[in-house]
Chain A
Amino acid sequence: MYAVRAGLKKFNIPYNFEIKSIIQLYAQWIREGKLKVNSDWNKDLKVKFTVQDPCQLVRKSFGDPVADELRFVVKAVVGEENFIDMTPNKSNNYCCGGGGGYLQSGYTEARHHYGQIKFNQIKNTGATYCIAPCHNCHSQIHDLNDHFDGGYYTVHLWTLICLSLGILGENERAYLGPDLAELGL
């Protein structure tokens, strides 16, 4: 998204549409009652979640307001008491090291070294799951777990929204850990 926003500006390309992240719409639809998510499924389980603020979405695009929307959605879905924020966060968050083409750059050792900060941030929350609402973040945070043997799971936001709505299909659970793999089936 950043590449398009920045590109439209840099190359003076006229356009007549709005650019949005679906995260903004998730929040809007939950508020409007169109997505009737709730966190009852996690009331007794108490599975803990943290969330990654993607640089391209937050710091480089819409700033703290979208980070707040993201938290609103996450809390609605997993329960406020089951959400643990990383520090620092929002616009001041550390990049995971998956951006800028890093994942394809071949500098794997450097990428792991870079990601150590993110890995520690996640581990320090004590959460079992890290929600990574950006593809590069998802790949990198998933890989950091494998590399440093983190013992956490990396999930997409859409997976949890559907889980909380009770509509997550059997084949749509690739990233859930064994604790949630069968929930609601």
Chain B
Amino acid sequence: MTEPALDLKNQKAEFRKKVEELLPNGNLNLCFTCGTCAGGCPATGLENMDPRKFVRMVALGLDDEVLSTPWVWMCSMCMRCNYACPMNVDIAGMVGLARQAWPRDQRPKGIVNSCDMALKHDTCSAMGASEEDFQFVVEDVLEEVRETQPGWEDLQAPVNKEGAYYYLNQNSREPVTEPDEMVPLWKILHLAGADWTYGTKGWGAENYCMFAQDLEAWEHIVRVKAKAVEDLGCKVWLNTE
């Protein structure tokens, strides 16, 4: 043999232990290397990695490689692999754990910054829009539509309306960069006769803290959003997508 075989005894395999502890249904041992996951993964080949290989490396305890490859940020955690895997191996879950293992200041800056922005206000806006910013934009756009679009003088875009049935969230992209894109939604809700409201708190629909795998921040964001819906007494948390 020209190349030494992998010395498995000297591998740390700590990450593998972590996977077994935190993903008890991760089925790491059940992988029979069929490659179904890799065959249908758009991230296959990037960084010379693919999901099957990643799972093997975790199983073999190759912690250094598993925890240093930037591939975990090039997998979109879309779960197509999980869905296709005949043994129900939680591949995306392992990718999430590997992301967590990265020191926060070394994770992709754009993702971490978007998470930090969302922590600035109770709006949870990853673009840092405040409660006042949001309310101002909504009211401003609404007023313009009422004044300039005949037939829409009665259009509504309620904010903090207690007891509304639907609590509608909104991706920051609209209020911050293209507010006119909110109008078609309002018109549809109007025609459907929906009883809905925005909330100044918790309206930001995006959540980069999950992508950053900052668990504490992710939990914080979810709690703020859930509280916002409940404080207004709404029955349905309605997503625009």
Q: Which A residues fall within an 8 A CB radius of B? A: 1-4, 6-8, 10-11, 13, 15-23, 25-26, 29, 34-35, 54-57, 59-60, 91-95, 97-107, 110-111, 113-118, 133-135, 139, 156, 158-159, 161-162, 165, 167-169, 171-172, 174
Q: Chain A interface: which of B9-17, B50-58, B131-139, B224-232?
A: B224-232
**Bound Cα distance A161, B210 (Å):** 31
Contact residues in B for A99 (Cβ distance below 8 Å):
76-78
Interface status of B21 (Cβ within 8 A of chain A): no
Pairwise interchain contact A114-B74, C-beta atoms closer than 8 A: yes
Kindly identify which residue among B47, B76, B108, B237 contacts A97, using a CB–CB cutoff of 8 Å: B76
Kindly identify which residue among B80, B84, B187, B238 contacts A95, using a CB–CB cutoff of 8 Å: B80
Pairwise interchain contact A107-B219, C-beta atoms closer than 8 A: no
Pairwise interchain contact B79-A55, C-beta atoms closer than 8 A: yes
Residue of A nearest to B211 (CB): A101
**Bound Cα distance A117, B178 (Å):** 29
Report how many residues on chain B are interfacial, defined by Cβ distance under 8 Å.
66
Interface status of B207 (Cβ within 8 A of chain A): yes
Contact residues in B for A97 (Cβ distance below 8 Å):
42, 76
Interface status of B85 (Cβ within 8 A of chain A): no
Interface status of B110 (Cβ within 8 A of chain A): yes
Chain B nearest Cβ from A27, distance in angstroms: 11
Pairwise interchain contact A18-B222, C-beta atoms closer than 8 A: no
19 extra interchain contacts, Cβ-Cβ under 8 A, other than A25-B194, A100-B73, A172-B183? Answer: A1-B241, A3-B218, A4-B225, A10-B219, A17-B234, A17-B236, A22-B168, A55-B79, A102-B74, A104-B110, A105-B108, A105-B111, A106-B110, A107-B108, A110-B43, A113-B45, A113-B46, A158-B184, A167-B191
Pairwise interchain contact B229-A17, C-beta atoms closer than 8 A: yes
Residue of B nearest to A171 (CB): B180
**Bound Cα distance A25, B187 (Å):** 14
Tell me which of B178, B185, B239 has the highest count of chain A C-beta atoms within 10 A of its own C-beta. Answer: B239
Residue of A nearest to B239 (CB): A1
**Bound Cα distance A34, B187 (Å):** 12
What are some 7 contacts across the A-B interface (CB < 8 A)? A1-B241, A11-B222, A13-B219, A35-B188, A54-B241, A113-B45, A161-B188
Pairwise interchain contact A117-B191, C-beta atoms closer than 8 A: no
**Bound Cα distance A16, B229 (Å):** 9
Contact residues in A for B77 (Cβ distance below 8 Å):
99-100
Contact residues in A for B194 (Cβ distance below 8 Å):
25
**Bound Cα distance A103, B94 (Å):** 21
Kindly identify which residue among B40, B74, B193, B236 contacts A18, using a CB–CB cutoff of 8 Å: B236
**Bound Cα distance A182, B130 (Å):** 35
Known: A3-B222, A158-B185, A167-B187. A100 touches B75 (CB 8 A): yes
Pairwise interchain contact B238-A55, C-beta atoms closer than 8 A: no
Shortest 4 CB-CB distances between A and B: which pairs? A101-B211, A95-B78, A104-B110, A7-B222
Interface status of B60 (Cβ within 8 A of chain A): no
Pairwise interchain contact B188-A104, C-beta atoms closer than 8 A: no
Contact residues in A for B185 (Cβ distance below 8 Å):
22, 158
Residue of A nearest to B179 (CB): A171
**Bound Cα distance A94, B185 (Å):** 27
Contact residues in B for A34 (Cβ distance below 8 Å):
191-193
